[in-house]
Amino acid sequence: MFGIGEKSIKDRVKEFDLTSIGNDFQMMKPRYEYTVKVFEEGDRGKPITSIQKGIKMNSDQELYAMYAMADQKVQILEKKEINPPQNNQQTPQQPVMAQSQMPQMPQQPVMAAQQPVQQKPVEPQVKYFSGGGIDFKLVGDELYQKQWIRATEDDCKKIRIINDTNNKIVELKGKHFELLNWVKVDSSDKALG
């Protein structure tokens, strides 16, 4: 990619040193020092990789953008913080020079406030007990008891009775089925009176 007389990426990084611009701009010193693996296309399309150390940038995005300008891709191997932000100083997101020279990178949206975590509704605790030969179930504040209930017509369509002696269907006229189901016990005064 780089022929004779062309500058290497390290030389470009040295030129890109933001601290040497002067006092006219309020610039921040590079915050991180990177060690990267550089991927580029060499002669005849043969891929070339190299390791470069000591690359100083303010963010990963700046690093990727700088190498993208030279049609290279990088993999960050090591990232060290060399100039931590200071609380009393406001630090700009990107220096002025970097904004004018680098293509705009898409930025992730910043959430104004963290959304509250939705919790699953708590299932009420179920307790089973019996008294006087009747089975009861307490679900939260609701009391159920097991009772025999007449089966509906739809329930009966799913059931048939076969006579064991002749293997024929038993006639159900004058008869009905009952199912053992949980029935909610009404605890209002109407049920007591």
pTM: predicted TM-score of the whole model, two decimal places: 0.33
Full 3-state SS string of 152-180: CHHHHHCCCCECCCCCCECCCCCCCCEEE
* 62: nearest Cα among 53, 51, 74, 50: 74
Give the tens place of pLDDT for each residue, 17-70: 544 444 444 456 788 898 989 888 877 778 888 888 888 888 888 888 888 888
Q: Evaluate whether 1 touches 72 at the Cβ level (below 8 Å).
A: yes
**Rounded-to-integer distance, Cα 95 and Cα 30, Å:** 10
State the sign of the Cα–Cα–Cα–Cα dihedral 50, 55, 59, 65: negative
Of 21-30, 54-63, 140-149, 172-181, the poorest mean pLDDT is in: 21-30
Give the tens place of pLDDT for each residue, 155-170: 888 888 899 999 998 8
For residue 129, CA distances in Å to 10, 124, 135, 145, 148 come to 79, 16, 6, 10, 18
Strands across the sheet containing 134-139: 126-131, 134-139, 142-150, 178-184
**Rounded-to-integer distance, Cα 57 and Cα 82, Å:** 10
Most confident of 38-47, 94-103, 114-123: 38-47
Domain boundaries, the chain: 9-84+93-101, 126-192
Q: What angle do CA 56, 96, 51 make, to 5 degrees?
A: 20
Q: What angle do CA 9, 15, 16 make, to 5 degrees?
A: 85
